Structure 1
Amino acid sequence: MVDKIMVVGGGGREHAIIKKLKESPNAGKIYCLPGNAGIAKDAECVPIGAEDLDAIVDFAVKEKIDYAVVAPDDPLVMGLVDLLQEKGIPCFGPNKKAAIIEGSKAFSKDLMKKYHIPTAQFETFTEMDKALDYVKTCKVPVVVKADGLAKGKGVLICESREDTENAVKEMMQDQKFGKSGTTVVIEESLEGPEVSVLSFTDGNTVIPMVSSMDHKRAFDGDKGLNTGGMGTIAPNPYYTEDIAKTCMEEIFLPTIKAMNEEGRSFKGCLYFGLMLTKDGPKVIEYNCRFGDPEAQVVLPLLEGDLLDIMMHTTDGTLDQADFHFADDEAACCVIMATKGYPEHYEKGFRLDIPDDLENVYVAGARKGENGELLSDGGRVLGVTARAATLPEAIDSAYAQVKRIGFPDGFYRHDIGQRALAALKGEAR
């Protein structure tokens, strides 16, 4: 029995993790730092921010936490796992040396180049003048990336040379993303279907989870600005058994071996953002943690004890964990966001969620004066359904969305439609 579990983070991803942990017969009391008013139904929320590392460690020591799950990117890159381990608290999540695979895009691109892991061609710049000189002659479109963490918004797809120059100036001169943009990566724009593959790894064994497809743009038809994700489905129909085999041989295992060679052994959840190009699968990005909202469709398809899997990952015995994913079924998650997101939006709108809706993951909510649930963010709810087929999962997810009261919210109406077209052979 694991008497006291601490989950660091406060969004929909953390809610999905907590709901799955609660299914474990060995899970005792679960704390969430900071959590939110929706998560409070499933865990005891403690008002300590995910980046307040000292306060988190103090709490963990004082409460004698038996196991910690560090879910967001920032505390992982900042080294929270290291600090907790120094106090004898076992953790799920990579240490600081390994989390750099997401913390620095320049590092991850150099890693792929050094170890011949397929990715887009790129150049890295620390001086704006040299970056702008490169833009004058490089092929467009290109992708401009801030080196460091930028809340999922530090990647700009630039269709013209002028757009590219503006992106470089925004990052390096105007510091739109703070210090994260002092170094930029400019890479070729790849074409093809995107696939997200999360994986459990203990530094040697790699076990991919069921694949998924994210929908980043704010509005129907992939219109509007990029967001943190407006919905997702699993499995991704483009990710065939043959492609999965290629990815394991050419990307997943080589990445783990490369990190070991660099003295940065990775333990936790390693996220592979892939593009299936005409030349084969290539890595767009790595994340050092569960994706959000990918976790909200992947974890509901997990047939197994998440706590047990995580502890095997920590112990380096992942090959002994007994679990699988129901890839003969499907899941769909629709994000309900506040009108105005991802730009300017108000907070404090009432949320009415029927009690019988099980897989509603709360990303941003607080309690009102009368105990009612109020919106407290851009992305507010993730509504997930699992079913025997993808069409059924999509229909069920939207049926649940329509039962939720959030008049000041909005959502995309076409989550999963691209995947359905692919299943019918109508898509690229």
Structure 2
Amino acid sequence: MKIMIVGSGGREHALAWKLAQSPTVDEIFVAPGNGGTAAIAENIAIPDSHVPALARFAKERGVDLAVVGPEVPLVLGLSNAMAKQGIPCFGPDAYAAQLEGSKSFAKLVMEQTGVPTARSGTFDDYESAKAYLDDHPVPVVIKADGLAAGKGVTVARTREEAEKALDMCMRKQSFGMAGERVVIEEALEGEEASFLALCDGETVVPLASSQDHKPIGEGDTGPNTGGMGAYSPAPILPESELEKVCDLVARPIVRAMAASGHPFKGVLYAGLMVKDGAYKVLEYNVRFGDPECQPLLARLDSDLAELMLACVEGRLDPSMIRWKPQSSCCVVMASRGYPGSYATGKVIEGIEKAEDLEGVTVFHAGTRLEAGRIVTSGGRVLGVTALGDDLKSAQTLAYQAVDRISFEGSYVRRDIGDKGLAR
């Protein structure tokens, strides 16, 4: 089987790494890929947003399954384009991808299906949004409706912060068309957790729990990032609760998509706020999280290619998913300055030494091959992932591996997994 993975981050390296372990997989293409995927697959120099070119390449090279990592190509209709070429695609069509591509669409579907979420209002003009702000207490959350590369959400703790966020979206158009419409919602209290499920259009099977760490600073301080590390399983979302949460936040959405004529095939990800045993949805993603994908795939004991085929062919069954009993921890090594401006082209050393540690895999995110050396090319550079008998041993091993790797200006959070250990 030939598989084409679309994307260039740590998630895509992890997908390639896991798919390469399947005896049914003969060849893997990654478009555009990174320095890590180049070692186990053929990188293809097509940006992940170039939908016609991606579909054309897949057809020309006889790809049997397309696997879409990031959200942008899904929102742009890559799954639809692949379908026109007769190529199965692990990832929803453009209509269902609006669950991530439009905050207001997701809110509407949640309201229609009874999924618990924060109270909110959606606005197309500044004056109406400002009037809503004036009538609601802070803190509030201001969200650009469309995709804004993870930067369109502001938790405003003061009236001044709320008005500034609104101004950035709707007047200054800092997020372009993504901010022409905004969703303003109450700020939920609690602790965040990540719930992911595989879907075949009808059947929904939860994956193991995980917990991401979005803010740049230790103790969850500073601006949000794409994710500074994650671990699995997460005590805040115990295995005994997974079916209950799936019934609450995933199966109603998948039924709604099927009823609309757009069956959801792929990964549905619900970002949850958990408080006193109650769950509310913060947002939906329509693909694996990054970095949650890395610790999840490190623990997955099933053939990922078979699981993905079962999803696209409508024959997913819970018995197909098996997990290793160990815990996993992924620590992101980032470029200093991220999520703001940062330097690139810094030589990375020590990856092989890190992977000499049993149970450690280093997933590349923002890297590229340059004159035979691996150098930095992004804000999030590596996802150093370790398996251990429990969370503490996985965490310890991950940081031992981190300390064997070096590049100029590297930065890591040193508290990935502490929340789980506190429980």
TM-score by length of 1: 0.95
CA separation in 2, counterparts of 1:276 and 1:96? 30
Match 2:188 to one of 184, 187, 190: 190
Q: Secondary structure at the match of 1:292?
A: coil
- Cα gap change, 1:402 to 1:86, in 2 (>3 Å): same
CA contact (8 A) 1:387 1:393 kept: yes
Following superposition, the deviation at residue 321 of structure 1 comes to 6.1
Alignment correspondent of 1:110: 108
Following superposition, the deviation at residue 222 of structure 1 comes to 1.5
Residues 346-357 of structure 1 aligned to structure 2 (within 5 Å): 346-355=343-352, 357=355
Give the fraction of aligned pairs with identical amino acids, expressed as a percent.
Answer: 44
CA separation in 1, counterparts of 2:223 and 2:162? 17
CA separation in 2, counterparts of 1:131 and 1:353? 51
Residues 102-181 of structure 1 aligned to structure 2 (within 5 Å): 102-181=100-179
CA contact (8 A) 1:51 1:74 kept: yes
Alignment correspondent of 1:244: 242
- Cα gap change, 1:350 to 1:139, in 2 (>3 Å): same
Q: Does 1:91 align with 2:89?
A: yes
CA separation in 2, counterparts of 1:60 and 1:250? 37
Q: Does 1:51 align with 2:49?
A: yes
Following superposition, the deviation at residue 39 of structure 1 comes to 1.4
CA separation in 2, counterparts of 1:261 and 1:416? 39
Q: Secondary structure at the match of 2:219?
A: helix
Following superposition, the deviation at residue 203 of structure 1 comes to 1.4
CA contact (8 A) 2:200 2:311 kept: yes
Following superposition, the deviation at residue 159 of structure 1 comes to 0.2
CA contact (8 A) 1:120 1:283 kept: yes
Q: Secondary structure at the match of 1:210?
A: coil
Alignment correspondent of 1:372: 373
Alignment correspondent of 1:420: 421
Q: Secondary structure at the match of 1:221?
A: coil
Residues 255-334 of structure 1 aligned to structure 2 (within 5 Å): 255-278=253-276, 280-319=278-317, 322-326=320-324, 328-334=325-331
CA separation in 2, counterparts of 1:87 and 1:153? 34
CA contact (8 A) 1:332 1:416 kept: yes
CA contact (8 A) 2:228 2:332 kept: yes
Following superposition, the deviation at residue 260 of structure 1 comes to 2.0
CA contact (8 A) 1:197 1:212 kept: yes
CA separation in 2, counterparts of 1:68 and 1:366? 23
Q: Secondary structure at the match of 1:260?
A: helix
Following superposition, the deviation at residue 242 of structure 1 comes to 4.8
Q: Does 1:42 align with 2:40?
A: yes
Alignment correspondent of 1:426: none
The letter of the residue matching 1:325 is: W
Q: Secondary structure at the match of 1:310?
A: helix
CA contact (8 A) 2:209 2:238 kept: no
CA separation in 1, counterparts of 2:89 and 2:308? 9
CA separation in 2, counterparts of 1:416 and 1:398? 11
The letter of the residue matching 2:338 is: Y
- Cα gap change, 1:331 to 1:320, in 2 (>3 Å): closer
Alignment correspondent of 2:389: 388
CA contact (8 A) 2:208 2:239 kept: no
More off after superposition, 306-315 vs 236-245: 236-245
Alignment correspondent of 1:403: 404
CA contact (8 A) 2:206 2:242 kept: no
CA contact (8 A) 2:351 2:362 kept: no
CA contact (8 A) 1:243 1:281 kept: no
CA separation in 2, counterparts of 1:122 and 1:209? 29
CA contact (8 A) 1:312 1:321 kept: no
CA separation in 2, counterparts of 1:343 and 1:320? 42
Question: Where in structure 1 are there 5+ consecutive unaligned residues?
Answer: 423-428
- The alignment covers a number of residue pairs equal to 418
1:30-57 per-residue CA deviation (whole Å, 9 max, x = no partner) reads: 0100001221011110111000111112
The letter of the residue matching 2:105 is: F
The letter of the residue matching 2:178 is: S
CA contact (8 A) 1:120 1:187 kept: yes
- Cα gap change, 1:25 to 1:154, in 2 (>3 Å): same
CA separation in 1, counterparts of 2:58 and 2:263? 25
Following superposition, the deviation at residue 261 of structure 1 comes to 2.5
Runs of 4+ in 1 over 4 A off after TM superposition: none
Following superposition, the deviation at residue 277 of structure 1 comes to 2.6
Following superposition, the deviation at residue 82 of structure 1 comes to 0.7
CA contact (8 A) 2:70 2:287 kept: yes
CA separation in 2, counterparts of 1:5 and 1:251? 30
Alignment correspondent of 1:9: 7
- Cα gap change, 1:241 to 1:41, in 2 (>3 Å): closer
Alignment correspondent of 1:339: 336
Following superposition, the deviation at residue 287 of structure 1 comes to 0.3
Q: Does 1:200 align with 2:192?
A: no
TM-score by length of 2: 0.96
Following superposition, the deviation at residue 407 of structure 1 comes to 3.2
Alignment correspondent of 1:82: 80
The letter of the residue matching 1:184 is: V
CA separation in 2, counterparts of 1:263 and 1:7? 26
CA separation in 2, counterparts of 1:146 and 1:67? 33
- Cα gap change, 1:221 to 1:320, in 2 (>3 Å): closer
Q: Secondary structure at the match of 1:124?
A: strand
Following superposition, the deviation at residue 320 of structure 1 comes to 7.3
